[in-house]
Amino acid sequence: MDPEVMKAAYFTDTGGPDNINYGELPVPSRTPGTALVRVAASAVNNVDTFVRAGTYATELTHPQVLGRDVVGTVEQLGTDSPAGFHVGDTVWANSMGFGGRPGTAAQFTAVPIDRLYHLPPELNADGGDAVAVAAVLHSAATANLALHRHAQLQPGETVFIGGASGGVGTAALVQAVRAGARAITSSSAADVERCLSLGASAALDYRSEGFAEELRQAVRTVSDGRGLDVHLETSGRHRLSLAVELLALRGRIIVLSGMAATDSVPLGRLYTKDGSIRGFAISNATVADLAAAAEAVNELLRDGSLRARNVTVLPLSGAADAHAALEAGTVHGKIVLVPQKD
């Protein structure tokens, strides 16, 4: 018998984490072109807090289930479903919970087929694999689109990756090196050696009192005096004046973090270098963009290049605590929600 109700974490009005409810909701309808997915794991991302708070304006359908990332198994398909998916397939998606789509912090979610991807057969949607995969989906796809769709990173170019020990930063470093670029990173002192082990050509401590001069020297050395082709700051600690100074001719600054950040831009130096500053939010990615990123993410999942650190697993009922911790800045790593066993 098909399930009729499910447990879910949801909200009926935008606001703080205390607006999050946990309880029973109807299982989402499997409308034409969707697959009903049994959820094994759902990650919690900063952008999920923006949607819940109303900071990120998007279409919501109340009661709105939280979450955009999911790993699970296909529970139900219709005769309208295209070839390639079958009941029982292990799958993932990373663009749910906004734009009018149901969220993933539930026992079931209805995913549009064109936003659904197979999990590599080396992995499965049960136990540790589901949690480990869910923890990296958002970061890996964000890094891929930032570097390739928006920055148009080319082999041999020099890229600066700020916050390289975080989820997006680590995924960006791995993918930049794989693309044949030379990477300069900033991180905490404790993670400098890790960045070097992942292929960074130079790794700096962002807390260093001499950081600006150290970065100038690293850029001169690594780029052979050309400058930065791409500047990608993932931590929200923007230094746009320094970034523009270090840009190569036609260098690109990609802004993808720091919702409330403000910074002055030396426009004269920017335009005389043919430089550009481009905003990027993965929530605006097209279906085609997401599918291209999914191919790259699956390749990294297959060979084990993507591994999240410090993953905290909570039950769906802990969603409000997870959002509160993210907003308080006390989360070090990733939080993944898993449905409680019936």
Q: Please give the structure tokens belonging to residue 32.
A: 């034409």
Arithmetic mean of pLDDT, 224-250: 95
The larger pLDDT score, comparing residue 241 to residue 83, is at: 241
Task: Report percent pLDDT > 70 for the chain.
Answer: 97
* C-alpha dist (Å) from residue 103 to 1, 39, 186, 235: 23, 11, 34, 26
Model pLDDT for residues 61-101, shown as the tens digit of each residue: 999 999 999 999 999 997 776 678 999 999 999 999 999 99
Does the pLDDT of residue 12 top 70, yes or no? yes
With 0-12 / 13-18 / 19 or more C-beta atoms within 10 angstroms meaning exposed / middle / buried, residue 304 is: exposed
Model pLDDT for residues 175-227, shown as the tens digit of each residue: 999 999 999 999 999 999 999 999 999 999 999 999 999 999 999 999 999 99
3-state helix, strand, coil in the chain (%, to 5): 35, 25, 40
Q: Please give the structure tokens belonging to residue 168.
A: 């997006």
pLDDT for residue 127: 63
Model pLDDT for residues 275-296, shown as the tens digit of each residue: 999 999 999 999 999 999 999 9
Q: Check the CA dihedral 230-186-258-320 and report its sign.
A: positive
Confidence band, pLDDT 50/70/90 cuts, at residue 264:
confident
Residue in 155, 45, 151 with CA at minimum distance from that of residue 103: 45
pLDDT for residue 30: 83
Of the ranges 49-58, 117-126, 127-136, which is most confident?
A: 49-58
Rounded to whole angstroms, the Cα distance separating 112 from 120 reads 19
Confidence band, pLDDT 50/70/90 cuts, at residue 1:
very low
pLDDT for residue 299: 95
SS3 134: helix
Arithmetic mean of pLDDT, 42-61: 95
Arithmetic mean of pLDDT, 296-300: 95
Please give the mean pLDDT across all residues of the chain.
94
pLDDT for residue 342: 58
DSSP-assigned letters across all residues of 9-37: EEESS-SSGGGEEEEEEEPPP--TTEEEE
Arithmetic mean of pLDDT, 292-313: 92
Does the pLDDT of residue 233 top 60, yes or no? yes
Does the pLDDT of residue 306 top 70, yes or no? yes
Beta strand 117-118 pairing with 90-93? antiparallel
Arithmetic mean of pLDDT, 302-306: 88
pLDDT for residue 104: 98
Does the pLDDT of residue 5 top 80, yes or no? yes
Q: Which has the minimum average pLDDT: 3-7, 59-63, 215-219, 250-254?
A: 3-7
Contact (CB, 8 A) for 43 and 75: no
